[in-house]
Each structure stands twice: as C-alpha cells, then as structure tokens.
Structure 1
Amino acid sequence: MASSSWQLDSLIRWVTTNYAEPLDAVQRTVRIAYVVFAFCAALFLGALKALVVGPIAALLLILGNVGVILGLFPAHVAWTVYSLLKTNCMNAALKFAFLFALPVLFGLWLALSIFGSGLVGVGYGFFTPWVSTFEAFRQNSETKKFLHCIVDGTWGTIKGSCTVVRDFADFCYHSYPLYLKELRESTHDHQPHSIRLMEVPSCIVVGLMGLIVDIPLYTVIAVIKSPYMLFKGWQRLLQDLISREGPFLETACVPIAGLAILLWPLVVVGSILLAIISGIFIGLYGSVIVYQERSFRRGVAFVIAMVAEFDEYTNDWLYLREGSILPRPRYRKRKVSHSTEFSVGSSTARGVKIGSGSSNAPAMLVPNLAPSRSVREAIQEVKMVQIWEDLMKCCEMRGKELVDANIITSVDLNEWLRTKGSNQETIGLGLPSYAFLHSLLYSIKAGSGGFLLSCGIEVTQLNRPQDRLLDWFFHPVMVLKEHIRVIKMGEDEVRFLEKLVLFIGNIPSIDTWDNGSVAPQDALRAAQIQAISRRLVGMTRGISKFPTYRRRYRQVVKQLITYSLDQQGSCRSRSTISVSSVEIMPAEV
C-alpha cells in the first residue's frame, strides 16, 4: 500500500511538472480567442445598431436643440438687452461696450451652439449604441451579456436624445433668465464696475486682434502636435494593454478598451476642434485684460502671451520639453483674484511651472494623456448621478414629512407646477434647501469628515466625482458644514433654522408653522443662523440652474402630489367610515 501510494504521488508530481504550463498556455490562448471574438462580434453588432438607431437619435437631438436655439433667440436677445440696460453694476460706458459686443457674442452663440448640437447629435446617436454593446460585457452571466448586447443602446439612446433636448431647453428657458435676474438684482450692495468711454475702442480693437491672432495660431499648434498626440495616445493605451493596467485591468473591460484604441483618432480630431474654440474665447478675453489693467499695451501683450501659454500647456500634457520658444510678454501689473478669472490649475497641480501670469490665464481644453486609473479605482469613485439621486430622494422624503404635517399641501405643489415655479419659493427653493440642511446635519451627527449620503456612502475629497460643476460647490459645502458644526446649535435653534430655510426668511409664513422653535435672543447668534440660511438657499439656487435639476425635481414634485392625494383619500375614507358607524349605532339600539 505504501509503495502504490508513493507511485501515485510520483505520477501526480510528474503530470503537474510536465503539463501545468501547457494547460496555462491553452487557457491563455482560449481567453485571448474569446476576447478577440467578443470584440469583433460587439464591433459588428454595435455598428449595426448605430446604423439603425443613430440617424433617429441624432435627428431628434439636432432638430430639437436647433429648434430651441432659434425659437428662443429673439427672447434671449430681448432679455439680455433689457438686463444690461436695467442693471446697476455697470456704468454707461461699460454698458455701451457690452451692447456693441452683443452682435458678435450672439453670432458666436448661434454658430457654436448649432455646430455643437450637430456634433453632439452625431456623436451621441451613433456612438452610444456602439459603446453600450461593449458595456454589456460587464454583466456576470453569459445570457445577460447576450441579451444586453442586443437591447442596450437602442430605445434608451432615443429616449436619451429626448432627455438631452429637454435639459437643454430647461437651461435656455429657465436657467439663463435666472442668471439675468441675478445680474439685475444682486448689484445694489456692490461697487458698480466702470470703464472710461475712451477705453471702449481699445477693448474692441484688442478683442478683434485676439480673434485674428489666437484662432489661426492655436489651430496651427494643434494640427502640428496632433500626430504626436495620436501616436502618444496609442502608445499609452498599448502600454496599458500589455501591462494590464487602467481600462485593461479587468478582462470584461478589454473589449471597451479596444474600442478606445480604434476611436482614439476621433479624440485627436475633437481636441483640435476644442483648441479652435478655446482660441475664440481666449482671444476675446483680451478685451477683459484691457478693462482690468486699463492698458491697451497689456491687452496686446496678453494676446501674444497666450499663444506661448497654449504651446507650453500642450507640451505639458503631451510630456514634451518644458517651456516654449514663442515670446511671452508680461501682461499683468497687479495680482487679480481667482474669482474674476479662470485658472489653468491642471498643470500646476502636477508640479509643472507654467510661467509668469499663467495662473491667471483662461482654461484651455486639451485631453489628458496621464496614466489612466484602474477600473477598480473608477468603480470606487462616487458618481455624480449618485449625488443627484440622493439629493432628490432627500427632497422626496422631507417633502412627505411636510405633507404629513400639513405644511405643504397638494394645492401648493400644483400651483408650483402650473406657474413654472415663479411665485412659489417655498416649493422651488425652500424644500430642497430644507432637505439639504438635513443632509448636512446628518453628516455632522454621524461624525463624517465629508458629505454623508442617505445610503451610507461618504463623499470626500478623495472619492468625489471629478466633475467641474461639483468643483464649484464641494468646497463651499464643506466650509458651511464646518461652520454649522462649530457653532453647535441647540435643538430649538435647529428648528428655527429649518423655518428660515423652508420659507426663505418670509416672516408671515414662518409664524404659521409651530415646530417648537425659539428665536435666539442673542443678536450675534441670530445673525449667524440667518447667514447660514442665506448661504444654504444661495447654494440651492445655484444648483437649481443645472439643466438636469429641473427635470428631476419636477418628478419629485409630481410624486409628492400623488402622495398628498393618497393621504387625503385615506383620511377621507376613514372619516366616512367613522360617520357611518355613528349613524348606525342608534338604529341598532
């Protein structure tokens, strides 16, 4: 028995030694064959779906957006001219300069918006079905992969085109007038901006010079460096493929990364178009430099210096040699606050020295060729859609509480929907501000160092979405959260803050809600709480201008109307039952 056992062990060791590597090689070959077959099949099926669905989705998006642009164009012109004439933040000379530049700005708006709508329509309509086919490989079971390969990106792409048109219409019809309203009304407490009439011609000349100089030179620089960007991007993607990093880390994502290799030339073409568009706005920004520096010479210096800035900026992104051989005259004689200009913070964040004046230069649009993150890192990052969904969920939950307390009724909600939110600030701003306040209080009570969502996910500086819109709000939200935590409000003060936030400081409406709050007797304490309420409402007002916000919030209001009617129906049925029982009792007696 011992001898036979030894012989069996020897046989197992011999088989393991001689056939382990061939078996691994066979498995690798099968896996590679599967990936190649899956990629080719998804490429063909995605192209077929793109040819069928793409024209419909693209046509809906293009016609819808162009219809909104042309239909609202007279109203946009009238609103803008009225706001410029009505505002008190500019003197007469500056208003004249803006009115003179309005035809150019509106011409750019028409050209770029229509061109952008066509580009987005074609890109979204034809490439979304394609990408959705490859995304189906992330499903676990083979049956789900096959089903999602066929279904994904068909009807959803058409619905997505309609959603894009609706969000764009919301921005043009609701958000833009709100910006103009703030321009007319938020300037009484600030020193008005002024310009001398003799400086207006200088601004016009420098703006035209910027368009003539920057657009062609930006185009030449982008076209010259585009071949290097093409091969550099392919090199980065192939390195990730060989080393199994970035999008190639997971086997299920390899087909998607293969599609990225094929479509990289389109990214290069898109970067050239973005460089041209950047040249338009940066050239026009020379007029702002003339106004800020009160110098025609420094405006011309800005136009020349920004060509060198763009050359050096693209060198940094493409990992070419530092600096630029182009001249870079100094165009600043004093430091300008970051709130008045854009920043090129991407390069400085990597520790690359851009040069004098670059921190105040307008942002330029160039794709990043830095090593891509792994799929696991991307999955761990909180998505913007999660934050949106959590915000709407909190609005719905807090709204139901207020409906149960009879603070908000179905009449108020219907009134907000009918009047497009113009006269009902309690529903349009108070309710989301109230929900936002409770989210901050929830984060503070949980001891979170960031922003804690209702689902338990903590949004911090490390895992927050890398979204430009969120950059404008995340830090102020953290500052406000720390301010609320530091002052340590009592329960009655929190109730008072709830009333201030919900009713937007409307004293008659505040008195109608008895929630057990007590106004602070200390004037400093009351001022602190009122300042917090104003900042909360201001942040919510800024968020409400985002295109997707209005569509999502209207769905929340409709759900609250349904909930309110259900509650009224249940109360009415209970009262009917109680009355009938009272009428039956004497007859039985």
Structure 2
Amino acid sequence: MKVPVGFIETLWSFVSFLPYFFLLFILGLLKAAIVGPIAVGIVVISNSSVIIGLWPAHFLWTYYCVVRTKRLGPVLKIVVLIVLPLPLILWPIIGTIGSLLGGISYGFFTPLFATFEAVGENVTDKFYHCFADGCLSTIKGSCTAVQDFIDFCFHSYFSYMDELSKKVPEDEMPVDIKLEKLPSCILVSLVGVLVDVALITAIALWKSPYMLFKGWKRLLEDLTGREGPFLETVCVPFAGLAILLWPLAVVGAVTAAIISSFFLGLYAGVIVHQVFRSCLFRRLIPDGTCLRCFVVSLFDEYVNDLLYLSEGSCLPRPRYRRNMNTSHGRKKLGDNDNDLRIRRESSLGTKLISERSRTLKRAIQQYKPVQVWDWLFKSCEVNGRILLREGLINIKDIEECIVKGNCKKLGIKLPAWSILQCLLASAKSESSGLVISDDFELTRFNSPRDKVFDWFIAPLLIMKEQIKNLQLNVNEEISLRKISMECKNDKPEDWDACEFPSSDNVRKAQLQAIIRRLQGIVGSMSRVPTFRRRFRNLVKILYIEAMQAAASANHIGGMLNSTIDGASSIGSGDWKDSVETVNVSGRRDHDNGNIV
C-alpha cells in the first residue's frame, strides 16, 4: 500500500479510516460483551475456590516453616511471626480482587485486540477471523491462567516454604536484625509510607497530563505520518485503538506508581538497618529526611526520562549513606568517567531515536523471554529423546512423573542436562554469550531486559566461562553428561563409582559445584507456574514416543524370532540374509525417529 503524502491525501486517508475503525471497534465490543463474562467467571470462581480451599493449609504451613527455619535469626523470626497474620488474612481478599480485575482485563481486551489483529496484512479470510478470533481462544486462555495459578498454589508456594525450612550450611549466618534498631526501623517505615505515598502520588498526578497529551501527540504523529507501530501495516486500525485506550494506560501508570510508593516507604526501614549505625532519634530525623528526599527525587527523574522532559529533577538529592566510600563504589560498579560518558551518549542516542521515530530499530536484535523459554522446552524435548535412546531415562521415570507426580529426576535433571549441553557447546565457541542454536546466540546485549531472566542468565554466563577455563577433553564431556543424570554431586568421592576420567579432586569439585548450581537454577525455574504446565505436556510427548519405540522394538523382535524359527527349514544362507534385512530395516526406522 502506498503511504499518503501531503495534507489532502493524509486527511482523506484519516477520514476514510474512521468508519473502518468504528465498525471493528463495535464488533470487538460485542465479542467482549459475550466472551468477557465467561472468562471472568472461569478465572474468579476457580481462583477464589483454590485460594479459600488452600487458605488453612497455607496459613498453618507458613507458620510451621517460619518457626522451623534456621535462615532467620531469633529477633527477625519473632517480628515475622507477629506481622505474618496480616498478609495471610488479607491474601484471600487480595487474591479474589486481583482475579476479578485480571479476568475483566483479559476477558475484555483479548477479544477486542483479536478483532483488530484479524485484519492484518498476513491474515487470509479476514471476514471469518474478525468474528471468530478471540472467542474460543479467550476461554481457553482463561483455563490456562487458572491452571497456572493452581500450579503456583500447589507447587510453587510449598516449594518456596520447603526451601525456607531446609537445613542451612554451618558456615551460613542466619539473617537477623538488631533489637535496638527495631523501633527506629518501624518508625522510619511508618513515616516513609506516609511521606512517599503522598509525594509520589502528587508527582504522578502532576505528570499524568503530560503523559496523556504527549502520548496522544506521539500516536497522532505516527498515525498521520505512518511512523511508529503503524508503518509496517500502513495505518491498521490499531492506530485508533491505541489512541482510544491511551487514557487507560495513563491511569494504570498512575495506579502502579501509587502502589509502589507504599512498598518504597516500607523499604526505608531496611535502609535504616543497613546504613545507619546510630540509633539515636536526633540522627534519625535528618538521615531519614535525606533518604525520603533521595527516593522522591529519583522517582521524579525516572518520570522525566520516561516522558522525555528535562533531564534530572528539580528536587534535591542529598546523600544518606554517610559511611559509603564513593570512589570504591564507583570502581565496583564500573562507573568510571569513560563508562559514564558512554552510557550518557547511548542514553541520549536512544532518546533521540525514540523522539524522532519509533520505527528505527536497533542494530542488535532483542530477544524476548518467551523465545528463551521456548528454546528451553524444545531443547528438553530433543534431549529427552536422546536420553531415552541412551537409556539414561526410561518409561518408568516418565510414568512416575505423570502418574505419581514424582518429577524430581525429569523435572530437574533433564532441563539441567539440556542447559549443560548448551554450556559445553558455548565454551568451545568464540562466543561471548550462550550458543542456543546455529542462528540463536544469547549475550548480555540481546538478552531479555527482564530482571527475573537476568537472575537466571547471568550465572549461566559465569558457569560457561568456568567450563571454558577447565578445558575439558572429549572423554570428560561424555562422562559428565552421563554423571549429571545418574550420580550424586555432593562430594568428589561420589564420582569414583561413576568412573570419571580425571582423578583430580579439585577438578571434580569444580564440576560438581557447576552441576549443583545448574540444578539449583532449574529448581528455581520449576517454580514459575508456566514451567509445570509446559513440562507436563513435554513429558506426555516423551511418554507417547517411548511407548511407540517399545512397540516398534517388540515388533522387530517378533519379526526376528519368526525369521529364526523359519530359518531351520530355509537354510543357513537364507537365514543370514533374513536377519541382515531385519537389521537394516531397524536402522532405517531408528534414523527416522521411530526408535529413540
């Protein structure tokens, strides 16, 4: 399609666009009115039933794990036990309200967006998809959301609590607070909540008109100039939908700022305990004031950067960490003058690019978390077939995971084994990141800008460098793959029975630490609700393929037995030819993936 040039063509394109947009918008609203209540009912009824049904177990088990844990010191444990009833009592109310709001948002906006997506350039039979898309898929998505929530309540929560109550190493010090600082921390937290909520709410409300009108200005410029998100599809109706729904985005941003201000105020008590050595109230007042001014000024600067307003903040930003070594802190963070200059230039360039046009893309492709997540399960599926073929896992392990829910071997060791293959391949390459596949390389520059994924990816990059420094030979790599599935990794002597090629105990201990760390990362991943749902689907696929492989093997065995029985009447030469034919057939089936 030709992009309109000139005022007359642009105006005509905009006028002709309006009926098209309003028809799709009305159709999307009708679909949302029909499908939305069903989705809301599924989410609210199911989630609230799970919350209320498991609330007694969650209440008792939380108290039991907190009392039993050795990770918390006595003072902090008493404080937690005193404060704990409040969030536990509020949990059913918050969970039900959150389910209601989430169900309404998902049930209303998903059919509406699907209606507009149905008129995209790559969609065939647009008329049918305008009516069909977003109806059944929204209901299925609601059921999926409920399933993930159930997994979180049944698995993730109890997994976190079990980890809290586990035995801690003797050299690990429990987390505790000093009793003499407790009144100061509570006082600062209460004052921080009052001050932060008031000031941050005022800043958010004051800047919200700027966000509203600057957003509308940007969207209208993209609409009339065919830039931003409207260039590729040349003014699809998403343009009008984005303009119409932009006030909701502003309201959501203000609401998020108000909610986050409450937690920022509470966090002031933690800062007091960390950096304020003096517990006198005469020092607490000026230091607490400096802390509050610093937080509010930082929030104001963040909002200015987000809205492309004047850099910095007009509010003062005093220092509240009196005993901090500035030069050491800068050196530790790599914040020297050169790095600071580069970051400022990069930030300025990104800001100018965003101001000029959103259609300009960065040279580095930014991968999304879902892409990394998809790779992990695809890798587990491929490596699961390999492990089945090599006998490192069997049908019994799969049946225990499906029937009994005992997925410790598959749920932890199979993903860890898959990531280990990635680390070994990345260590051999010249890449600075992780070689996911031939056309997929994950580095610090293109990794998802997600804090949760950063917690997982950063340790993997460190482990890759550790493996690279060890310079494993071929025999050690082969043995390491087998040992990671079959042997324990607690101490170097555990690998003596596994016939590890190297007799160096230091080398063994380093590799065992890497595998333990890798399995710990996978254990944390398994608490993500979507992990269990997708891994169950993966296990079902492996189970079906394992049963087919067993059936094929039995079929080949039966053919072989019948051939041997007929060999006595046929003759020795013909018997050999028959056996060779069966073997060739078996190899061909193996290459085609029927025998794994």
Q: TM-score range by the shorter chain?
A: 0.7 to 0.9
* 2:503 is the alignment partner of 1:521: yes
Q: Match for 1:265 among 247, 253, 256?
A: 247
* Contact kept in structure 2, 1:246 and 1:374, CA below 8 Å: yes
Unaligned runs of 5+ residues in structure 1 are: 1-20, 339-346, 353-368
Task: Find the counterpart in structure 2 of residue 92 from structure 1.
Answer: 74
**TM-aligned CA deviation for residue 271 of structure 1:** 1.0
**TM-aligned CA deviation for residue 127 of structure 1:** 0.5
Q: Match for 1:199 among 161, 181, 193?
A: 181
Q: What is the CA–CA distance in structure 2 between the aligned matches of 1:93 and 1:480, rounded to whole Å?
A: 37
Deviation sequence 1:279-308 (CA, Å, 0-9, x none): 221121122123223546245653454334
Task: Find the counterpart in structure 1 of residue 551 from structure 2.
Answer: 569
TM-score (norm 2): 0.80
Amino acid in structure 2 at the alignment position of 1:407: L
Task: Find the counterpart in structure 1 of residue 265 from structure 2.
Answer: 283
Alignment of 1:491-502 (within 5 A): 491-502=474-485
Unaligned runs of 5+ residues in structure 2 are: 330-339, 346-353, 572-596
Distance 1:27 1:312, change over 3 A: closer
SS in 2 for 1:332: coil
* 2:379 is the alignment partner of 1:390: no
Distance 1:161 1:512, change over 3 A: farther
Task: Find the counterpart in structure 2 of residue 459 from structure 1.
Answer: 442
Task: Find the counterpart in structure 2 of residue 489 from structure 1.
Answer: 472
**TM-aligned CA deviation for residue 400 of structure 1:** 1.2
Alignment of 1:211-230 (within 5 A): 211-230=193-212
Q: What is the CA–CA distance in structure 2 between the aligned matches of 1:398 and 1:334, rounded to whole Å?
A: 52
Alignment of 1:13-412 (within 5 A): 35-107=17-89, 109-140=91-122, 143-185=124-166, 187-188=168-169, 189-252=171-234, 254-294=236-276, 295=279, 297=284, 298=287, 301-303=290-292, 305-324=294-313, 330-335=319-324, 351=344, 373-374=358-359, 381-412=366-397
* Contact kept in structure 2, 1:430 and 1:504, CA below 8 Å: no
Task: Find the counterpart in structure 1 of residue 589 from structure 2.
Answer: none
Deviation sequence 1:462-501 (CA, Å, 0-9, x none): 4433333222223322222233223221111112322343
Distance 1:71 1:276, change over 3 A: farther
**TM-aligned CA deviation for residue 153 of structure 1:** 1.1
Q: Match for 1:544 among 526, 549, 556?
A: 526
Q: What is the CA–CA distance in structure 2 between the aligned matches of 1:319 and 1:466, rounded to whole Å?
A: 20
Distance 1:177 1:420, change over 3 A: same
Task: Find the counterpart in structure 2 of residue 533 from structure 1.
Answer: 515
Distance 1:67 1:316, change over 3 A: same
* Contact kept in structure 2, 1:301 and 1:331, CA below 8 Å: yes
Indicate the larger mover: 379-388 or 408-417.
379-388
Q: What is the CA–CA distance in structure 1 between the aligned matches of 2:178 and 2:357, rounded to whole Å?
A: 50
Distance 1:537 1:204, change over 3 A: same
Deviation sequence 1:483-536 (CA, Å, 0-9, x none): 32232211111123223432462689988998xx63312233222222221222
Q: What is the CA–CA distance in structure 2 between the aligned matches of 1:444 and 1:41, rounded to whole Å?
A: 56
Q: What is the CA–CA distance in structure 2 between the aligned matches of 1:386 and 1:23, rounded to whole Å?
A: 38
**TM-aligned CA deviation for residue 549 of structure 1:** 1.0
Distance 1:306 1:377, change over 3 A: closer
Task: Find the counterpart in structure 2 of residue 441 from structure 1.
Answer: 424
Task: Find the counterpart in structure 2 of residue 554 from structure 1.
Answer: 536
SS in 1 for 2:322: coil
Task: Find the counterpart in structure 2 of residue 359 from structure 1.
Answer: none
Q: What is the CA–CA distance in structure 2 between the aligned matches of 1:405 and 1:321, rounded to whole Å?
A: 63
Q: What is the CA–CA distance in structure 1 between the aligned matches of 2:235 and 2:422, rounded to whole Å?
A: 35
Deviation sequence 1:363-390 (CA, Å, 0-9, x none): xxxxxx9777438669954333222222
* Contact kept in structure 2, 1:504 and 1:537, CA below 8 Å: no
SS in 2 for 1:452: strand
| Percentage identity across paired residues of the two chains | 43
